[in-house]
């Protein structure tokens, strides 16, 4: 078990960016303690940018308002995302467990996923071809930042392509469709 350092050991010398910095234990508030952001602002030269005080920002009305708005938008979006994932899981359980047990009275045969994968590819291709939004971003290109959230008319195509792909057995994760659906719903709000 480690013992706490003595007061004389509380100061540590660290070298970073070829400068020597002295730091003290924040509990002691002794010599060498890092100054608060407000003290930085007082010490700054008149032409230098002001230091940002994160505590003051978190207590501001604008920040609290942004948190309330995020909750108002985020709660329904998360309920919709949960419902989407629950629907995918229900369809998968029916297609790959319940339906083969009803038809064959045994677990699914090895060929059972093949027709569902073909149907998944066909429905996803039709969705991409004929519905706006191209079914969301292509996972073949990886994560690509930028762009913006999908617009209202693209959301059904993205949701349908994701639903057919995920529930009919294609091995892709739900992250990208959930981000697209959540971003689109958030942009609508």
Ordered DSSP codes for 12-35: EEEEETTEEEEE--TTT--TTPPP
Distance from C-alpha of 65 to C-alpha of 42, rounded to nearest angstrom: 29
Model pLDDT for residues 103-148, shown as the tens digit of each residue:
998 888 999 999 999 999 999 889 888 888 777 766 666 666 767 7
The pair phi, psi for residue 181, each rounded to 5°, is -65, -45
pTM: predicted TM-score of the whole model, two decimal places: 0.63
What confidence score (pLDDT) does residue 25 get?
41
Model pLDDT for residues 155-174, shown as the tens digit of each residue:
888 888 889 988 998 777 78
Average pLDDT score over the chain = 76
Give yes or no for residue 21 having a pLDDT over 90: no
């Amino acid at each position: 078990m480690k013992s706490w350092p003595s007061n004389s050991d509380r100061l540590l010398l660290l070298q970073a960016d070829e400068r020597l910095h002295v730091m003290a234990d924040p509990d002691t508030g002794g010599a060498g303690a890092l100054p608060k952001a407000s003290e930085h602002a007082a010490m700054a030269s008149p032409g230098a940018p002001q230091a940002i005080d994160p505590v003051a920002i978190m207590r501001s009305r604008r920040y609290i308002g942004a948190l309330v708005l995020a909750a108002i938008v985020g709660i329904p979006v998360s309920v919709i995302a949960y419902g989407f994932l629950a629907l995918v899981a229900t369809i998968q359980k029916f297609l790959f467990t319940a339906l083969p047990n009803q038809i064959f009275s045994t677990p699914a045969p090895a060929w059972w996923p093949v027709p569902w994968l073909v149907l998944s590819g066909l429905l996803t291709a039709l969705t991409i071809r004929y519905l706006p939004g191209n079914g969301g971003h292509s996972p073949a290109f990886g994560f690509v930042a930028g762009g913006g959230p999908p617009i209202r008319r693209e959301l059904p195509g993205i949701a349908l392509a994701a639903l057919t792909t995920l529930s009919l057995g294609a091995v892709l994760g739900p992250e990208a469709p959930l981000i697209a659906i959540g971003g689109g719903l958030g942009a609508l709000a």
